Structure 1
Amino acid sequence: MGCGVTGPRRVPRVLSIAGTDPTGGAGIHADLKSIAANGGYGMAVVTALVAQNTQGVRSVHVPPVAFLAEQLDAVSDDVDIDAVKIGMLAGVDVIRAVADWLDRVRPPVVVLDPVMVATSGDRLLDADAVEALRGLLSRADLVTPNVPELAILAGEPAAGTWDDVLEQAIRVAAQHRVRVLAKGGHLTGQHLPDALVDPTGGTVIVTEFSGTRIETSNTHGTGCSLSSAIATLVAGSGDWANAAAESKRWLTESIRHGPELHVGVGHGPISHFAGLWNRGGIVTAPTASEVEADWWAEIAGIRADIDDLPFVRGLGDGTLDRDVFLRYLAQDALYLRDYARMLAVAASLAPTPDEQAFWAGSAQGAIAEEMSLHESWLTNADGSLRTAGLDSVTTAYLNHLLAAAARSDYHLLIAALLPCFWVYQDVGERLRPLSHPEHPYRSWLDTYADPVFAASVRQAIDIVTKAATGAGDAGRAAMREAFRASAEHERRFFDAQGA
């Protein structure tokens, strides 16, 4: 059975064809925000310049239809469009121009928000344009009218109950062979359902979505925003019912946070990015290379202290007392035994097969290191192995790693494990030039300056810093502190062995 690994998500390219709103709450301004908030790349063709605010529409200027056609062609001649959301079409000629373009380009997804009545109650289309708009229904995959607009499309009085809304939606869907999103927002009461009415399979299927009224005046542009969200999500998934359900959840959250914007004194806008701001923040995450540079600079003082330690200086120039070096190796062997276990824990927590393989391989390598380099130095003349108990410094370091592992926090653990890779390579590479064939500790210097070890260190740095970029501000700060604490334990470890 496959592991389910997929490539990067392709961002849907969604075109909004609609009018403007200088206050940013409706029209193409709302569409672009909705598309971005739901993971799409938004594009816009302007059908009308609307002088409006949260209190109502003041006037509408419709640019020449030839210019509208040029805008549409400019986009489709260059960009593969995944979905189109159509909003305000101010007049018969505009509607015909859009219809002609749809017939030529045939976008894979078309969502029509039949903007005929604004939230403020303003009627935006004359009778001839309404009739032309009905002709556009057959070119759409989904139409998203509010209650008054649904009644106009059906040629009937506005529905007063949810059952009446559903019946009208079913008649419109069956007549025009188009999905209809029936919306209950204009009804009275606390229960505000929506429903996807889908006649495309030969039998009309009605999928209802429950909802509760939110007491707010921030409802400007809700129809624009919902239809754009559905277009974006269905372009990515192909699932109309799920796209409608997810868009409704997103819209509800955005409406709830609308008052926090304090925009206008009438029907204020929704907060399109409320969820993104609350869950993701607005601070740009650092790149992996920026994390690497920051963390390395964070321990610059610790690294300088390590260079000045008598143990490290003696190790480099070969004057280190042999018994001191053997005491160090004995503690290091004990440390590596448990360090290998922590690497195995990291492997068990790793989110990808490549990371699992790296940490598991490192655990095996740590054990092999203990068995080869350390045993070659720590074997007595009679063949017995020199042993030692854990000293307080080694114990403290291991307790730090064990505490990170006990939290089952992959990010925190690998940050704590990294200095044992990175600091050792740094020390080994800088001491290696002092080595010579008769250097008493050349085998140690060769091990930590080896290109194979350097490649392993590079991979560890890449894994940890990449994880840090996606850990969020708090998680990244915790990782940085765990890394710094381990680097300090490395300094104390070298210092204790030379005492």
Structure 2
Amino acid sequence: MTPGGAERTVNVLAIAGSDPSGGAGIQADLKSIAAGGGYGMAAITALTAQNTQGVRGVHVPPAAFVTAQLDAVSDDVRIDAVKIGMLADASVVEAVGEWLRRVRPPHVVLDPVMIATSGDALLDPAAADALLRLIPLADLITPNVPELAAIAGDPAATSWEAALEQALRVARRHGVRVLAKSGHLEGSLAPDALVLPDGSVAEFAGQRIETSNTHGTGCSLSSGIATRAARFAGDWVRAAAEAKAWLSESLRAAEVLEVGSGHGPVNHLAGLWARGGLETRPSPEEIREEWWSGIAEVRRQTDELGFIRRLVDGTLARRDFLDYVAQDVIYLRAYARVLARAAELAPTTEEQAFWAKASQGAIIGEILLHRDRLGAEAADAAASGAVPASPATEGYVNHLLAAGTRGYEEGIAAVLPCYWVYSDLGMRLARGELGVSARASDHPYAEWIAAYDNAEFAADTETAIGYVTRAASRADPATRDRMRRAFEAAAVWEREFFGQTAAG
């Protein structure tokens, strides 16, 4: 899946030579494809021994083996775009051309690697002629200034206007889009332009970036455009514009890599590292397990509270229970406000509806039930503030209200223990796991225990857990950590809330 998550993954095949130092060729292509949101594949046309200072040797596999690589991929994998780079000799060029005619991939970018930055020819005359015959099979070619001149049959351009004129002639002669690039020209400006056979030109302005880390820029740009052309359904103008912007960012960030002592590589993944982060994203299921086990000791301590033990065996004094209920009325008023705030901030209508219903339930359902338990006068006194909040209630309420002001994610993490711990405790009480007497039909607090062990509350608890853990999974590491700490603090306040009465 691409970074936004809504697009189909695009599969991009790079056909090029290798660079063991990682800055150019197949290695650069694969990084560029990944940075552009694609799945990269590679067919290697040449093995080189090179580094940032230069090429020391080249080994060219037989053309039949290049074809075998290409067929192995296309026989099995959908190919959405192809980028072609270094093709070392005429037989390899012909093999790639034959495969293109057979397979007809939808978006083809040819980076005609013919002439080095130094001006040295990289192909013999036979291979150069074969490469010219390959051009009509491409949708776009991305030559540098010397390569554009060689294809046009002219001396190298010395001005941007001359480069554009050559690009237009090449586009018309071969029926192909040409990306004219100004990297080899002088001046502070560094524009590129997409030139079409019909004479239309889309120019992309740019400032020259002063850096010696230019190794593999042509490889990187061409594979970046191929990836985006597939993602953008053949919108070549948008693909070229966005790939140029990405390459500029990668060039500006290249110095931090400190690779080699010659012309270093661009920082292909700089934007991804800066905006995407390097932390592994846990699944909601993993977060659920981690958070629940993380409060295991707090839950054990809650089970051992005098209030809970006496509630289980039915010996809890009625006064202590009613004191707890009165504090719960105070708590629920604030709890309902935090739930309403969560509904206001919720990113989906489903979540909004859930938290809004929960807020209403806390006000109408819970407080009305407490009126029955306390009596109308005592319940209204607690709700109106006539009954003072205990330190535990005040601390819990303040925690919830503060978390709710810090955003949706932290707010829902803070309210989760009121669902999860209560549901777990109520279920275990009703099942007799904390003591069989809690299951007796004549238990003095059977109604309270039953209220928290029912299918609707269990379902709401699962929904709340799902919303919180999915939000935590999507969040950046810092937000996820704040959510976890808000959840753990709320679990502690749950324990303190249960333990606040004289029963302890």
What TM-score comes out, normalization by structure 2 length? 0.92
Which residue of 478, 484, 488 maps to 2:488?
A: 484
Q: How far, CA to CA, are the matches of 2:153 and 2:42 in structure 1?
A: 31
Partner of 2:402: 403
Q: How far, CA to CA, are the matches of 2:370 and 2:236 in structure 1?
A: 63
Deviation track 1:287-330 (CA, whole Å, cap 9, x = no partner) reads 22222222223222221221121112122222111122122222
Deviation track 1:76-112 (CA, whole Å, cap 9, x = no partner) reads 1111101100111112221111111111111111111
Kept in 2, the 8 Å contact 1:337–1:370? The answer is no
Partner of 1:27: 25
Q: How far, CA to CA, are the matches of 2:212 and 2:109 in structure 1?
A: 26
1:220 aligns with 2:220: no
Q: How far, CA to CA, are the matches of 2:344 and 2:109 in structure 1?
A: 46
Partner of 2:299: 303
The alignment partner of 1:233 has SS state of: helix
Q: How far, CA to CA, are the matches of 1:244 and 1:14 in structure 2?
A: 16
Superposed displacement of residue 385, structure 1:
4.8
Superposed displacement of residue 446, structure 1:
1.2
The letter for the 1-side match of 2:396 is Y
Q: How far, CA to CA, are the matches of 1:188 and 1:301 in structure 2?
A: 69
1:265 aligns with 2:269: no
Partner of 1:109: 107
1:451 aligns with 2:455: yes
Q: How far, CA to CA, are the matches of 1:321 and 1:454 in structure 2?
A: 28
Q: 1:422 to 1:197 in 2, by over 3 A?
A: same
Partner of 2:121: 123
Q: How far, CA to CA, are the matches of 1:30 and 1:248 in structure 2?
A: 15
Kept in 1, the 8 Å contact 2:167–2:180? The answer is yes
Superposed displacement of residue 9, structure 1:
2.8
The letter for the 2-side match of 1:213 is R
The letter for the 1-side match of 2:227 is T
Q: 1:420 to 1:97 in 2, by over 3 A?
A: same
The letter for the 1-side match of 2:461 is V
Kept in 2, the 8 Å contact 1:14–1:85? The answer is yes
Q: How far, CA to CA, are the matches of 1:337 and 1:486 in structure 2?
A: 16
Superposed displacement of residue 386, structure 1:
5.2
Kept in 1, the 8 Å contact 2:82–2:107? The answer is yes
Superposed displacement of residue 12, structure 1:
0.6
Q: 1:403 to 1:192 in 2, by over 3 A?
A: same
Partner of 1:441: 445
The letter for the 1-side match of 2:326 is A
Superposed displacement of residue 158, structure 1:
0.9
Partner of 1:235: 230
The letter for the 2-side match of 1:251 is L
Superposed displacement of residue 275, structure 1:
1.8
Superposed displacement of residue 435, structure 1:
2.3
Alignment of 1:44-193 (within 5 A): 44-193=42-191
Alignment of 1:365-380 (within 5 A): 365-379=361-375
The letter for the 2-side match of 1:377 is R
Superposed displacement of residue 262, structure 1:
2.1
Q: How far, CA to CA, are the matches of 2:61 and 2:379 in structure 1?
A: 90
Kept in 1, the 8 Å contact 2:326–2:379? The answer is no
1:315 aligns with 2:311: yes
Q: How far, CA to CA, are the matches of 1:328 and 1:396 in structure 2?
A: 15
The letter for the 2-side match of 1:65 is A
Q: How far, CA to CA, are the matches of 1:49 and 1:270 in structure 2?
A: 21
Q: How far, CA to CA, are the matches of 2:346 and 2:379 in structure 1?
A: 35
Superposed displacement of residue 18, structure 1:
0.6
The alignment partner of 2:500 has SS state of: helix
Deviation track 1:233-261 (CA, whole Å, cap 9, x = no partner) reads 12111222222122112111222222222
Kept in 1, the 8 Å contact 2:46–2:58? The answer is yes
Partner of 1:464: 468
Superposed displacement of residue 406, structure 1:
2.1
Which residue of 406, 419, 422 maps to 1:421?
A: 419
1:387 aligns with 2:381: yes
Q: How far, CA to CA, are the matches of 2:375 and 2:158 in structure 1?
A: 92
Partner of 2:324: 328
Q: How far, CA to CA, are the matches of 1:295 and 1:385 in structure 2?
A: 34
Q: How far, CA to CA, are the matches of 1:121 and 1:51 in structure 2?
A: 20
Q: How far, CA to CA, are the matches of 2:106 and 2:470 in structure 1?
A: 36
Deviation track 1:261-293 (CA, whole Å, cap 9, x = no partner) reads 222221111121122222233231222222222
Partner of 1:3: none
Q: How far, CA to CA, are the matches of 2:501 and 2:120 in structure 1?
A: 82
Superposed displacement of residue 7, structure 1:
7.4
Deviation track 1:3-33 (CA, whole Å, cap 9, x = no partner) reads xxx9743211000011111111111111011
The letter for the 2-side match of 1:292 is R
Superposed displacement of residue 73, structure 1:
0.8
The alignment partner of 1:220 has SS state of: coil
Kept in 2, the 8 Å contact 1:429–1:449? The answer is yes
Which residue of 339, 355, 362 maps to 1:359?
A: 355
Q: How far, CA to CA, are the matches of 1:120 and 1:308 in structure 2?
A: 79
Q: 1:314 to 1:121 in 2, by over 3 A?
A: farther
Kept in 2, the 8 Å contact 1:109–1:141? The answer is yes
What TM-score comes out, normalization by structure 1 length? 0.93
Superposed displacement of residue 135, structure 1:
1.8
Q: 1:386 to 1:354 in 2, by over 3 A?
A: closer
Superposed displacement of residue 384, structure 1:
7.9
Q: How far, CA to CA, are the matches of 2:462 and 2:297 in structure 1?
A: 22
Structure 1: 5+ residue runs without aligned partners? 1-5
Kept in 2, the 8 Å contact 1:435–1:445? The answer is no
Q: How far, CA to CA, are the matches of 2:413 and 2:196 in structure 1?
A: 51
Which residue of 18, 26, 41 maps to 1:43?
A: 41
